[in-house]
């Protein structure tokens, strides 16, 4: 449905559009490079209780949501996970009906048992070809080996049995991410492949001026810190392996060893040479190239959640091009000046995206969490600045 | 750390192409469909025990049996533990029947006996109380170490002890000792050799028969002493009987002098 001659906002249940003005409902679409499936939350003003009466929020109901501008929008099919009623009117079944939605495939796949003997990317291609996606972005990967799918569904198999060993020489020891975004695009991509291309989107800081409102101008920027639990275990690891002759091989790696080529100028974390903070035991069988790559993949993939080190949260007017797994060039001003901050401006990866429609306030908004691995080196020595700031 | 989970499965192949004692198992129910998961693609499981590099053991589980197996979280490491349910195969009566087939075995208490019954019904056992132990083969042959230290060995067919130069063999029709080395038979007591048939002693070299006591050579038949030169020496020789004249030979047949009637012959020869 085209709303206000600007937005495309649509909800359909089992393929049938419902007769409901967008002012009577809100939703939030979200996706993440760390999660296979995108999610959505839907809130409908069901003051008569009719939606509930017609079982439109029961578990398993198919819901399709489309959102964007009238000529360009994203669309995805979801399935009801759970529902709840808040603000009910005087104990009746009417009120705001909140529905939690999962991606359609999450609970509509069949569990399967199969054996594959191939590279991981070829196995993934074979699997996802069975399903309808708007697009498939699949990077090549190696680690050819036997992979068993022990009566689990396809995407659990990809996430838990294939992704943990993904390896490619082209990825330069950067991890692979596997996820479906809010536009139903399947992605199996490594960090280098995402970040090596020139960003097609440039985001700038907006001003208070109404004329500066644009889907590429962010209105809010904040730091987004995650817990050190993601990085602590990976700062300095003991990598162990039993060798065929019974010897125990012990090596070490550091969080900054990934990727294995220079990337950016200055890593955002300092090596902790003094303390071991984690460990990883590799498989003892390296009898084939595929098995060697399985081990190499495991070393890299366990770094997945610790790969990006600095995160920012940006809020913008609705911009449906901003989806998880895209790289963006972000121009960030230095404080109190109109000059760009050289240390903060640069290329970032969108880790998560949130696209929100708020019917009661006619608000269409995008929030993204962007991250980076390293920063641009400044002319001045950053550590001497640090020393100037710290009183001895 | 490798996290392992316990599963059960059916043994489909024990003929490990790598000859490492592995078995191929159909994991149940995770890989139960033999159309979707072909037998040749099933994972190979290593034995979880007996994996020491200084101790080789090949004792894989029987094809067709249900077994306990362990698999890691990624289905990359596979181990087998043992049979799933002992009720359907573990039967001490089977073992007892085999033990009872050997009357020389003294103690057959379940509590004392450690045993291993092999797929062909051969049995190895050891009595932890008496140290009686042995192997009873499915053919009926057995080797038994008894509690007093004696060793019994029985074969339903040939018996053969041999090394590079010597073979001692007991077969259904002969007992033979064949060797290119010296044979030495010694006893501080009596040695008796008895035969109900013929006895041949054949030597291509010198043969000495010696005794520090008396020696008797006796036959109820004829005795032939034959040699290129026969010497009878070493003391007194007594020959009883008379000589009948034949006109040739070394013995004189005239007992008295024909002229003086003085004795001409005697029974004793001295200075032989």
Q: How many Å lie between the alpha carbon of A286 and the closest alpha carbon of chain B?
A: 12
Query: Could you tell me which chain B residue has the CA closest to the CA of A117?
Result: B41
The whole-angstrom distance between B87's CA and the closest CA on chain A is: 28
Q: Does B76 touch chain A (CB under 8 A)?
A: yes
- Cα A290 to its chain centre, rounded Å, is 28
Element (H, E) at A98: strand A95-103
B36 CB neighbours in chain A (<8 A) are: 112-114
Q: Which residue of B has its CA nearest to A239?
A: B1
Nearest-CA residue of chain A relative to B41? A115
Angstrom distance (rounded) from CA B43 to CA B24? 6
Of A50 and B106, the structure prediction assigns the larger pLDDT to B106
Mutate to test the interface with B, among A113, A159, A294 (most CBs of B within 10 A): A113
Average pLDDT over residues B86-109: 92
Q: Provide the pLDDT for residue A270.
A: 74
Cβ contacts of B75 on chain A, cutoff 8 Å = 147-148, 150, 161
> Collapsing DSSP states into helix, strand and coil, what is residue A300?
helix
Taking CB atoms and an 8 Å limit, are B74 and A161 in contact across chains? yes
Q: Per-residue DSSP letters for A120-167?
A: HHHHHHHHHTTS--SEEEE------EEEEEEEEEHHHHIIIIIGGG--
Residues B106 and B146: beta-carbon distance below 8 Å: yes
| Percent of chain B residues past pLDDT 90, beyond the cut | 57
| Chain A neighbors of B1, CB-CB under 8 A | 281
pLDDT for the residue A173: 94
In angstroms, rounded to a whole number, what is the distance separating the alpha carbons of residues B218 and B240? 15
Question: What pLDDT was estimated at residue A386?
Answer: 59
Q: Tens digit of pLDDT for each residue in B20-50? A: 889 999 999 999 999 999 999 999 999 987 6
H-type helices in chain A, by residue range? 50-53, 120-128, 154-157, 191-196, 229-232, 289-301, 382-389
pLDDT of residue B110: 94
Contact with chain B for residue A161, Cβ under 8 A = yes
* pLDDT (0 to 100) of residue A276: 93
CB A316 within 8 A of CB A203: yes
State whether residue A165 sits within 8 Å of chain B by CB: yes
Cβ <8 Å between A281 and B2: yes
Residues of chain B with C-beta less than 8 angstroms from the C-beta of A164: 74
Q: For residue B160, is it left (φ>0), alpha (ψ between -120 and 50) or beta? A: beta
Burial A129-167 (b: 16+ CB within 10 A, else e): eebebeeeeebbbbbbbbbbbbbbbbbebbbebbbbbbb
- Position A4 scores a pLDDT of 72
Residue B1 in contact with partner chain A when CB distance is under 8 A: yes
Test A151 with B31 for CB contact under 8 angstroms.
yes
Per-residue pLDDT at A99? 94
Q: How distant is the Cα of A11 from the closest Cα of chain B, in angstroms?
A: 39
For residue A380, what pLDDT is reported?
58
CA pair distance A327, A43, nearest whole angstrom: 31
Question: Nearest-CA neighbor of B217 among B199, B203, B190?
Answer: B199
Of the residues B5, B51, B76, the best mutation for testing chain A's interface (the one with the most A CB atoms within 10 Å of its CB) is B76
Cβ contact, residue pair B74, A114, below 8 Å: no
- What is the rounded radius of gyration, in angstroms, for the C-alpha atoms of chain B? 36
Give me the residue from B27, B37, B74 closest to A114, CB to CB. B37
Taking contacts as CB-CB distances below 8 angstroms, the residues of chain B near A165 are 74
The residue count for chain A: 392
Taking an 8 Å cut-off on Cβ atoms, the answer to whether A115 and B41 are in contact is: yes
- Note whether A112 contacts B: Cβ–Cβ < 8 A: yes
Element (H, E) at B175: strand B175-179
Rg of the Cα atoms in chain A: 24
Picking from B27, B29, B76, the nearest residue to A283 by CB comes out as: B76
- pLDDT of A264 reads 72
Q: Does A114 touch chain B (CB under 8 A)?
A: yes
What one-character DSSP code corresponds to residue A21?
A: -
Q: Indicate yes or no: CB of B30 within 8 angstroms of CB of A160.
A: no
Q: Does A283 touch chain B (CB under 8 A)?
A: yes
Low-confidence spans in chain A with pLDDT less than 70: 87-91, 265-266, 335-337, 377-392
Q: Does A147 touch chain B (CB under 8 A)?
A: yes
Q: Which of A112, A117, A148 sits opposite B75 (nearest CB)?
A: A148
> What one-character DSSP code corresponds to residue B35?
T
Task: For residues B84-113, give the mean pLDDT.
Answer: 92
CA atoms within 13 A on the CB side of A310: 17
Greater confidence (B76 vs A47) lies with B76
Q: Which of residues 33-72 of B touch A (CB under 8 A)?
A: 33, 36-38, 41-43, 53
Residue B87, CA distances (Å) to B11, B144, B245 in order = 18, 30, 93
Predicted complex ipTM? 0.85
Q: Pairing state of beta strands A176-180 and A185-190?
A: antiparallel
How much of chain B, in percent, has pLDDT values that exceed 70? 98
Check residue A283 and give its pLDDT. Answer: 94
Using a CB–CB cutoff of 8 Å, tell me whether B29 touches chain A: yes
Output the furthest CA–CA distance in chain B (Å, rounded): 125
Give dist(CA A191, CA A171) in Å, integer.
7
Instruction: Tell me how many residue pairs between chain A and chain B have CB atoms under 8 A apart.
Output: 41
Q: Which of A186-200, B162-176, B191-205, B244-258 is least confident? A: B244-258
The answer to whether B31 and A150 have CB atoms below 8 angstroms apart is: yes
DSSP state of A12: E
Residue in A closest to B38 by C-alpha? A115
> What per-residue confidence (pLDDT) applies to B53?
61
B75/A150 CB distance under 8 A: yes
Is B29–A151 a contact, with Cβ atoms under 8 angstroms apart? yes
* Angle, CA A249 vertex, CA A248 and CA A252 arms, to 5°: 140
Burial (0-12, 13-18, 19+ Cβ within 10 Å), B202: exposed
Whole-prediction pTM value? 0.82
- The Cα of A216 is separated from the nearest Cα of chain B by a number of Å equal to 43
């Amino acid at each position: 449905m085209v709303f206000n001659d600007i937005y495309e906002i649509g909800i359909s249940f089992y393929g049938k559009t419902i007769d409901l003005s967008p002012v009577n409902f809100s939703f939030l679409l979200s996706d993440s490079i760390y999660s296979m499936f995108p999610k959505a939350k839907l809130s409908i003003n069901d003051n008569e209780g009719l939606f509930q009466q017609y079982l439109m929020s029961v578990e398993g109901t198919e819901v399709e949501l489309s959102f964007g501008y009238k000529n360009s929008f994203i669309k995805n099919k979801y399935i009801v996970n759970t529902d709840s009623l808040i603000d009910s009117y005087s104990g009746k079944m009417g009120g705001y009906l909140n529905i939690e939605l999962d991606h359609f495939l999450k609970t509509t796949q069949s569990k399967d048992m199969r054996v594959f003997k191939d590279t991981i990317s070829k196995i993934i291609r074979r699997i996802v070809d069975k399903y309808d996606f708007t697009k498939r972005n699949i990077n090549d990967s190696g680690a050819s080996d036997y992979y068993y799918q022990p009566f689990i569904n396809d995407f659990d198999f990809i996430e838990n049995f294939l992704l943990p060993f993904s390896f490619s020489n082209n990825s330069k020891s950067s991890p692979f991410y596997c996820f479906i975004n809010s536009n139903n695009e399947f992605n199996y991509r490594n960090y280098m492949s995402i970040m090596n291309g020139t960003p097609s989107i440039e985001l700038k800081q907006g001003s208070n001026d109404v004329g500066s409102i644009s889907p590429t101008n962010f209105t809010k920027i904040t730091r987004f810190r995650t817990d050190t639990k993601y990085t602590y275990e990976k700062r300095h690891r003991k990598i162990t392996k039993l060798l065929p002759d019974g010897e125990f091989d012990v090596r070490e790696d550091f969080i900054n060893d990934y990727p294995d080529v220079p990337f950016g100028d200055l890593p955002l974390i300092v090596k902790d040479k003094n303390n071991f903070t984690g460990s990883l035991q590799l498989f003892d069988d390296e009898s084939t190239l595929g098995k060697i790559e399985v081990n190499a993949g495991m070393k890299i993939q366990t770094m997945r959640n610790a790969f990006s080190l600095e995160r920012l949260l940006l809020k913008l007017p609705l911009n449906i091009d901003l989806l998880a797994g895209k790289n963006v060039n972000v121009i960030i001003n230095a404080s109190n000046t109109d000059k760009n901050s050289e240390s903060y401006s640069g290329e970032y990866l969108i880790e998560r995206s949130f696209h929100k429609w708020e019917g009661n306030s006619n608000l269409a908004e995008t929030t993204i969490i962007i991250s980076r691995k390293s920063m641009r080196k400044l002319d001045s020595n950053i550590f001497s600045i640090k020393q100037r700031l710290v009183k001895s | 750390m490798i996290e392992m989970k316990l599963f059960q499965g059916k043994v489909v192949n024990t003929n490990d192409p790598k000859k490492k004692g592995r078995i191929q198992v159909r994991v149940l129910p995770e890989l139960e469909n033999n159309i979707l998961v072909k037998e040749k693609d099933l994972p190979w499981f290593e034995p979880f025990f007996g994996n020491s590099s200084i101790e080789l053991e090949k004792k894989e589980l029987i094809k067709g049996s249900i077994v306990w197996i362990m698999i890691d979280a990624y289905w990359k490491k596979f181990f087998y533990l043992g049979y799933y349910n002992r009720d359907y195969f573990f039967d001490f009566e089977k073992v007892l029947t085999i033990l009872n087939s050997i009357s020389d075995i003294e103690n057959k208490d379940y509590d004392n006996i450690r045993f291993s019954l092999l797929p062909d019904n051969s049995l190895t056992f050891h009595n932890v109380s008496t140290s009686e132990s042995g192997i009873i083969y499915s053919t009926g042959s057995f080797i038994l170490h008894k509690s007093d230290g004696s060793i019994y060995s029985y074969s339903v067919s040939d018996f053969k002890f041999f090394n590079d130069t010597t073979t001692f063999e007991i077969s259904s029709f002969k007992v033979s000792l064949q060797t290119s080395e010296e044979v030495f038979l010694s006893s501080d007591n009596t040695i008796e050799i008895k035969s109900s048939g013929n006895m041949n002693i054949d030597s291509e070299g010198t043969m000495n028969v010696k005794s520090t006591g008396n020696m008797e050579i006796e036959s109820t038949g004829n005795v032939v002493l034959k040699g290129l030169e026969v010497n009878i020496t070493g003391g007194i020789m007594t020959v009883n009987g008379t000589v009948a004249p034949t006109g040739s030979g070394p013995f004189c047949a005239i007992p008295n002098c024909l002229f003086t009637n003085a004795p001409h012959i005697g029974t004793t020869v001295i200075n032989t």
